[in-house]
Amino acid sequence: MFFVYGYGGTGKTFLYKTLTASIRSKGGIVLNVASIGIASLLLDGGRTAHSRFAIPINIVEDSMCTISADGDLAELIREAKLIIWDEAPMINRLAYEAFDRTLRDIATGTYSSSSDLVFGGKVVVFGGDFRQILPVIPDGSRQDVVHASLNMSYLWKHCTVLNLTQNMRLRVKLVGKMNGNAYVEFPEEMLISDSNDHVESLINETYENWEQNLWDPTYFQDRAILAPTHEQVEKVNERMMSNLPGREKVCYSSDSVSDVDIDFNFNESLYTTEFLNTIKMSGIPHHKLVLKIGAPVMCLRNIDQRGGLCNGTRLQILRMSTNNIEGKIISGGKVGTIVAIPRMKLAQQIRRCL
């Protein structure tokens, strides 16, 4: 068990690809997974860990992956020479412990001497940066987040940590140390000049001459506006959508409380359709969604990882119908691919909505 520790640009992905190519060139099997869909697109044959290893979504201390010991997936894992897991710090340690118990169970009866070893004796290479996003614990304290981290698991004492410290991506431009404190001077062209409409100025600076470049396949790949709050994101999105030419299509959601959320004390009058329509949360589109042909959008679900449709994939809308959206992928490893996204059901735990 290894952990490759390094911040962005130090060569983790290059290392994964080198290990994968080396083993596969000799006929070996490598399973590449990542904690999130968008990261899995950077790996050769990558999948999300939850999808590849059937890890439960609602995980507890004694959870197991839903892998049958005599199934095809179990046989694939037995034959694998290496498992690579990128962005490991993002997932709750319980997922790794469930995976460990499952691999030990798979090893029992086949190579029983390995059933007492971590991950059933399989070589697993984790990677990531603990300075980035850690496991998300709803309503949790800082202590809860730390307790859920991989390095708090019983598995960590078996892990060999390998550090990548040199930023290869920025190597030519580096003039000092990557860690520590320093003052940053922003170039004048990056600053928004005095304006009565800062949102419009920001859009014009970021998406300069967008009317002429709307259908340029590389135009939106290199541009994005980041904001610290959802309210500011909505303000920018509404302004950009109104500036796009063409007729807008308004899509409305059909909101209801699912049966699994209803208990004996459920008061239906508290959760009217009108109230549900007003709920706004991360990862779920708003009740009213305004779209136009040519608009850049982002996929919020892992729909088809092999086809490039993952949470975080950016697309540009080509056509719209009542129940389908046709778009062109403009990010990740499937740039230029035309895909269709159907109208679908989305569920969210109500405790995370209120």
Per-residue pLDDT of 83-111, as tens digits, reads: 999 999 999 999 999 999 999 988 865 55
Q: What is the pLDDT of residue 103?
A: 93
Type of residue found at 98:
A
Assess whether pLDDT exceeds 60 at residue 308. yes
Where is 30: in which H helix or E strand?
A: strand 29-34
Type of residue found at 177:
K
Hey, what long-range contacts does 298-303 have (CB within 8 A, 24 or more apart)?
A: 299/341, 301/344, 301/346, 302/37, 302/48, 302/51, 303/341
CATH code of the region 2-163? 3.40.50.300
> Measured between alpha carbons, how far is residue 309 from residues 87, 192, 234, 278, 338 in Å?
19, 34, 23, 28, 11
Indicate the average pLDDT of the chain. Answer: 86
CA dihedral 316, 319, 320, 324 (to 10 degrees): -80
Q: Residue 127 corresponds to which tokens in the numbers above?
A: 């990677």
Type of residue found at 185:
E
Where is 2: in which H helix or E strand?
A: strand 2-5
Please state, in angstroms and rounded to a whole number, the distance separating the CA atoms of residues 318 and 152: 47
SS3 label, residue 223: coil
The pTM is what?
Answer: 0.71
Between 317 and 331, the more confident residue is 317
The model's pLDDT over 320-332, given as tens digits with 9 standing for 90+, comes to 998 899 999 998 7
Strands 249-252 and 80-86: unpaired
Query: Which is nearest to 293 in space by CA: 224, 241, 219?
Result: 241
Q: Residue 304 corresponds to which tokens in the numbers above?
A: 């088809």
Burial (Cβ within 10 Å: 0-12, 13-18, ≥19) of residue 116: exposed
What mean pLDDT do residues 307-316 have? 86
Instruction: Kindly give, in sequence order, each residue whose CB lies less than 8 Å from that of residue 288, ignoring residues fewer than 6 positions away.
Output: 250, 251, 252
What mean pLDDT do residues 249-255 have? 89
> Measured between alpha carbons, how far is residue 63 from residues 7, 69, 76, 170, 236 in Å?
31, 16, 21, 42, 42
Phi, psi for residue 115 in degrees, rounded to 5: -70, -15
Q: How many helices (H) and strands (E) does the chain have?
A: 10, 12
Q: Residue 346 corresponds to which tokens in the numbers above?
A: 């989305």
Strands 314-320 and 29-34: unpaired
Q: What is the pLDDT of residue 353?
A: 45
What mean pLDDT do residues 301-330 have? 88
Assess whether pLDDT exceeds 60 at residue 198. yes
SS3 label, residue 326: strand
Per-domain residue ranges of the chain: 2-163, 244-352
What mean pLDDT do residues 139-154 have? 93
Q: What is the pLDDT of residue 354?
A: 44
Sign (positive/negative) of CA torsion 15, 9, 144, 137? negative
